[in-house]
Amino acid sequence: MLKAVIVDDEKPSIDILKFFLQKTGKVKVACTFQNPKKALEEIEKINPDVVFLDVEMNGMSGIEIASNISLMDKNIEIVFVTAYDKYALQAFNVNALAYMLKPVMEKDIDKTIKRLMKVCKGLSARSEVKPQVKIQCFGEFEVYSSSNNQPLKWRTSKSKELMAYFFQNRGIPISKWKLCEVLWPEGNQDKIDINLHTTIYKMKKTLRDSNIDVDIKFINKSYIMNINNIYSDVDEFELLIDNKININDDNLKNYEKAFSLYNNYLEENDYYWSLEVKEDYLQKFIKISKDLADFYIEKDNYDAAERVLKRGLEMSPLEEDLHETLLYIYVSTEDRVSFIQHYNSLMELFAQELGIEPRTTLKGLYKKMMSNCG
């Protein structure tokens, strides 16, 4: 299965191409972008096998993106999908594998995928190669080498934090001053520069001692980290979900895997700079919890829905939608004991944590349950 990225500033074009690609059964569309600059920032993190590019886009042309991708990773193949044939020569000057004209036809897709699979036999194998390094971000930040299953032992807590920050911003230039601000927000300004160089040295030595090859460059007063041949739980989580597609029988396995994979991002590390990303992952997890529960309720599989909701509430105890759906299940199954226990604990939780009562719809469920059992 080839991992693909689509970049096109017109959403209908993205949707059509994605449909045809995934219909082949040989391509997994990992991500789509309407903003070409954002795409260029994220592509190296995604590490796709192939990028499907429009040529004429607002902000940056597909030709320019392709040129940058080839500098980033020569193994990433480029396929142009455009309404104009006048760019064909420029496309092949940047080593594009194929050039398809819009409107894209299914036969054109099949032909291109066959060529891609033939020319790039190594791509599928590349995705099967055992990763050189495993990086865990859900829960405790840990880095594992392929040689053993033990997490790396860092020389200092700051060198571990630096690695975590670099990984969160991999492929993105970070100024020296930003790194100093992140690691030593209240540090002695005279010593910060020395501290940074010392910490980078210790971080790189820990990685080298475990035979982990991480490329860190200092260009235009900024550091940039690139790391290839890795597995990370957050990358797998992102690949498994698509917020634009409803859960169904075909993709249920992916969403259940993402659901079980999740833990609070860098929960055990208490890095203040990770809070925004942590909240973003939490909101994605909450949405998965709601969608999975709704899917199972529609199937009358209340046990599975209850399991999902209870774990969702472990991660986000104050999420009222999850509480309400769980209480709805107890009403539907006429489980009066479970309803009263959960409702009372919910009232106590909100009073202690927020000083408020839950929303009125929850009280409505309480009245319904009491009347049903009266």
Q: By C-alpha distance, which of 84, 80, 83, 109 is closest to 97?
A: 80
Which pLDDT value is given to residue 93? Answer: 67
Q: Tell me what pLDDT residue 82 has.
A: 85
What is the per-residue pLDDT for 205?
Answer: 93
- Averaged pLDDT, 215-220: 84
Task: Report the 3 state secondary structure along the chain.
Answer: CEEEEEECCCHHHHHHHHHHHHHCCCEEEEEEECCHHHHHHHHHHHCCCEEEECCCCCCCCHHHHHHHHHHHCCCCEEEEEECCCCCHHHHHHCCCCEEEECCCCHHHHHHHHHHHHHHCHHHHHHHHCCCCEEEECECCCEEEECCCCCECCCCCHHHHHHHHHHHHCCCCCEEHHHHHHHHCCCCCHHHHHHHHHHHHHHHHHHHHHCCCCCEEEEECCEEEEECCCEEEHHHHHHHHCCCCCCCCCCCHHHHHHHHHHCCCECCCCCCHHHHHHHHHHHHHHHHHHHHHHHHHHHCCCHHHHHHHHHHHHHHCCCCHHHHHHHHHHHHHCCCHHHHHHHHHHHHHHHHHHCCCCCCHHHHHHHHHHHHHCC
For residue range 235-292, what is the model confidence (pLDDT) as tens digits?
899 888 877 778 999 889 999 999 999 999 999 998 999 999 999 999 999 999 999 9
Question: What distance, in Å, lies between the first and last C-alpha atoms of the chain?
Answer: 57
Q: Taking a C-beta distance cutoff of 8 angstroms, is the pair 56, 7 a contact?
A: no
Angle of helix 233-240 versus helix 252-261 axis, rounded to 10: 150
Find the range with the poorest average confidence among 67-76, 320-329, 331-340: 67-76
Give the residue carrying structure tokens 């999975």.
292
| Residue located via tokens 């079980």 | 260
Q: Phi-psi region for residue 339, left (φ > 0), alpha (ψ -120 to 50) or beta?
A: alpha
Percent of the chain residues past pLDDT 90, beyond the cut: 44
Q: Of 366 and 52, which is predicted with more confidence? A: 52
The pLDDT-based confidence of 76 (bands split at 50, 70, 90) is confident
206: left (phi over 0), alpha (psi -120 to 50) or beta: alpha
Q: Do 216 and 204 contact (CB within 8 A), yes or no?
A: yes
At residue 338, the pLDDT reads 93
pLDDT at 165: 97
- Residue 302: both structure tokens together: 């209340």
Which pLDDT does position 280 carry in this prediction? 96
**Is residue 84 very low, low, confident or very high in pLDDT (cuts 50, 70, 90)?**
confident
Enumerate residues 6+ apart whose C-beta is below 8 A from 344. none
Q: Can you read off the two tokens belonging to residue 272?
A: 């203040």
Q: Which of 18-32, 51-65, 198-212 has the highest mean pLDDT?
A: 198-212
What is the rounded CA–CA span in Å between residue 133 and residue 150? Answer: 11
What pLDDT shows up at residue 263?
95
Domains and CATH numbers, the chain: 2-128 (3.40.50.2300), 133-231 (1.10.10.10), 317-374 (no CATH)
93-131 pLDDT, tens per residue? 667 778 888 888 888 898 888 888 876 655 444 444 556
How large a percentage of the chain has pLDDT more than 70?
93
- Give the pLDDT of residue 373: 59
Q: Which of left, alpha, beta for 65 (phi over 0: left; psi -120 to 50: alpha)?
A: alpha
Q: Which of 287, 243, 5, 11 is nearest to 251 (CA)?
A: 243
Asked if the model's pLDDT at residue 168 lies above 80, the reply is yes
Task: Report the distance separating Cα 35 and Cα 109, nearest Å.
Answer: 23
pLDDT value, residue 372 = 67
